Structure 1
């Protein structure tokens, strides 16, 4: 009857490991998560235009190129401003000359197509379109896939800290503290539970060891000599 209790204790004691894994798995370099770009830049500072397109199957090799287009506020046509084909990065419009830097994947299998704008100005307000042209290198044939993402960029004179971001940051720290306390409680519980189960097993072994000589003596007493 003790086996279900042992299994239960082991399962509970594995929870801290699972929690820690879930907290830090997002930082693993091998993973890919499609996160939207920020949309508010500060005049005179730098800004990262985010563009992420994850492959559906990581085991399939691929080659990709990235193009960025820009449509200024009030205009109808997009301008081709940047092209990346590993390892070459080309700025294609004079308005962004010496102001764009590649901050994406540093190989031909591109999943992150981000670029960094230096010295943002109010003339940079508008719509940015990121196009990732990917060729999947399949065993039988190659498949071409194009993914497009747009960023509506606004520029402000002074950075505004969003109240939602402040609340989220506070909640994050509170959650970290609560999780740490919870993990400590789980570890203490596991230690006590395992200790109790160990003592119970030792007690059963001792009781069994005491009962075996008595059973042997009873069997010997029951033997009749001829």
Structure 2
């Protein structure tokens, strides 16, 4: 028994030493493309750093492009977030992270005129000893503003399946209860008959 306990403690110790501390992972996701009139809308722009240990200077510029028109800069992040002069003034909110991998914006109180394309342009300059390479990324987010939210068919299917599952489980529980009740009744009858004949 002592050998087994020692082996178990040794194995657990090795497992604990081999496990690394978990670190957050950056995942580049897609932004929603439908907004509801009068509601807030998050424009998601995520630009992951391949190597977080290298220092970089990041500059982000958000543009709005109405249909078939020229794009207009609406928001900028260089040394800090700054809202630019546009008809969005007072309705944009910075949702970006401190490490500047999440560079998202929120539009509060969406109007019908907010339909169009939004461009998130990310410029990064990396700092090495004698070499300063740079990268530039562009993400285009087409946005359509609707008067009411459309119902996602997946949500409807999952809701129907949930209710069907609840009905099935309730009926199964009822059948189990009846089965257990009958079994207990038969056991009680058998014990009563044994008591009579004894």
Q: Would the alpha carbon gap of residues 168 and 65 (structure 1) be closer, same or farther in structure 2, given more than 3 Å must change?
A: farther
Q: Would the alpha carbon gap of residues 147 and 170 (structure 1) be closer, same or farther in structure 2, given more than 3 Å must change?
A: farther
Name 1:182's counterpart in structure 2.
Answer: none
Name 1:85's counterpart in structure 2.
Answer: 78
CA displacement 1:107-133 (0-9 Å, x = unmatched)? xx4211111101001100000000011
Asked if 1:118 is matched to 2:108, the reply is: yes
> If each structure's helix is expressed as a fraction of its own residues, which one has the higher value?
1
Q: Secondary structure at the match of 2:133?
A: strand
Matched positions, count: 149
Are the equivalent residues in 1 in contact too, given 2:83–2:92 (CA < 8 A)? Answer: no
Q: Residue 72 of structure 1 is aligned with which of 62, 66, 72?
A: 66
Q: Would the alpha carbon gap of residues 58 and 167 (structure 1) be closer, same or farther in structure 2, given more than 3 Å must change?
A: farther
Q: Would the alpha carbon gap of residues 168 and 146 (structure 1) be closer, same or farther in structure 2, given more than 3 Å must change?
A: farther
Q: Would the alpha carbon gap of residues 61 and 125 (structure 1) be closer, same or farther in structure 2, given more than 3 Å must change?
A: same
**Which runs of 4 or more aligned residues in structure 1 lie more than 6 Å from their structure 2 counterparts after TM superposition?**
168-171
Q: TM-score, normalised by structure 1?
A: 0.58
* Pairwise CA RMSD: 3.1
Q: TM-score, normalised by structure 2?
A: 0.65
Give the whole-Å Cα distance in 2 for the aligned partners of 1:168 and 1:57: 39
Q: What are structure 2's unaligned runs of at least 5 residues?
A: 1-6, 166-198
Q: How do 1:68-217 and structure 2 match up within 5 A? A: 68-73=62-67, 75-93=68-86, 95-106=87-98, 109-167=99-157
Q: What are structure 1's unaligned runs of at least 5 residues?
A: 1-5, 19-24, 175-226
Give the whole-Å Cα distance in 1 for the aligned partners of 2:158 and 2:96: 27
Alpha-carbon shift at residue 139 of structure 1 (Å): 3.0
